[in-house]
Amino acid sequence: MKYVLSTVAMALAVMGCSAKEVSVHDPVMAKEGDTYYVFSTGPGITFYSSKDMKNWTPEGRVFKGQPVWAKKAAPTFDDHIWAPDIQFHDGQYYLYYSVSGFGKNTSGIGVTVNKTLNPRSPDYKWVDKGMVLQSVPVRDDWNAIDPNVIEDGKGNAWMSFGSFWSGLKLVKLNKEWTGIAEPQEWHAIASRTSGEAAATEKAGPGEIEAPFIFKKGDYYYLFVSFGLCCKKADSTYHVMVGRSKEVAGPYLDKNGVDMMKGGGTLVIAGDKNWKGLGHNSAYTMDGKDYLVLHAYETADNYLQKLKIMEMKFDAAGWPMVDQADLNKYRSNQLPAK
C-alpha cells in the first residue's frame, strides 16, 4: 500500500496536480547571485525567490505600508500596486511601479531602490524615491502606468510606459534614474488609435499597454500587449512585437508597419487551455533568452499563473516561443520561510 500511495503521489506531481502554482499578474524577473526573483502586481508588490526558476518561495511584499504619494496621484488607490519593473544600475536595484484607478488615467509611476533583493540580507532595505511622473485627466491623453526602463548604448535611461488612450510613450530619465531628464525628451512609440485620443478619464478603444523594450544584437525589440486583460474567459490579451535600431523608434513589425500605426507581429496568443496571455517581460539569463508573462488557465477557473518560456530568434531576427511550453512550464509555490 505504501508503494501504491507513493506511485500515485509521483503521478500527481508529474501532472502538476499536487503543487500549488505561482499566481501572479504582470511578472518581471531579476537574478542576484544564484537566486532569481519575480515581482508582480499585488498588495505592496508581491515577490518570490527561486534557485531554479520553477520552485518559488513567497517573500511577502515590498511595501509594508503604502507609498506616501499614492493617494494623491490616485485617490481610489486600494493598496494594489501595479505592473512593477526591476532594474540594476550603479550598484542598486531600482523597482519601478504604478498606482492608478482601474480604467482611469489618474495614475502615477514611482521608484524604490535597494542594495539587494535578498530579504534576509542585513543590507536589505527599500528606500522609496517617490513619483517619477504622473498623468492627469483632461490634461494628458496618456496613462502613467506599466513602466519599463532600458539603458541605451550612450548611458541614457529611457522609460517606456502607457495603457490605452493615445498609446505608449518613451521619456528620457535623469542621471539618477528617479525623474524625468531636463530638458525633457518624449517620444510616441506605439498606438492603436486613429488620430489623437482625447485627454479624458475614459480609456477609449485603443487596446494596447505594457511596453517592454529588450535589446538583442542590433535591435531594440518593443513587446506590447494587445487586447483586454482581467476578464477570465473573455480575456483577449496577446503579445505583439516590433523592432528598431534606435531606442526611440520607429518600431516596425515584420511587414514593415510602424507600431504607431497599429503595427505589431504576433509573439504568442491564447489557446483553449490558456487565456489572457500578456504583460510580458524579456531577459537574457544564463546564456538563454526568456519571455516571462502571466496566463489564465482555463482548467483552473482562469486563475492567472506564472509562465517562463525560452525565447529564440528566427533567421531574420524575430523572437519566437513554443506554444507547447505554456503547458510544459509549471511553477511550484513552496511554503513561505
Active site residues: 26, 209
Q: Which residues are within 8 A (CB) of 315 and not within 5 positions of it... i.e. 6 or more apart?
A: none
| Cβ(96)–Cβ(159) below 8 Å | yes
Distance CA 332, CA 16 (A): 9
- How remote is the C-alpha of 120 from its chain's centroid? 25
**Residue with cell string 513619483:** 131
| Cβ(112)–Cβ(95) below 8 Å | yes
Q: How far is CA 275 from CA 2, 20, 157, 231, in A?
A: 39, 19, 33, 9
Distance CA 247, CA 158 (A): 8
**Residue with cell string 485627466:** 137
| Cβ(117)–Cβ(30) below 8 Å | yes
- The alpha carbon dihedral of 18, 22, 25, 29 has a sign of negative
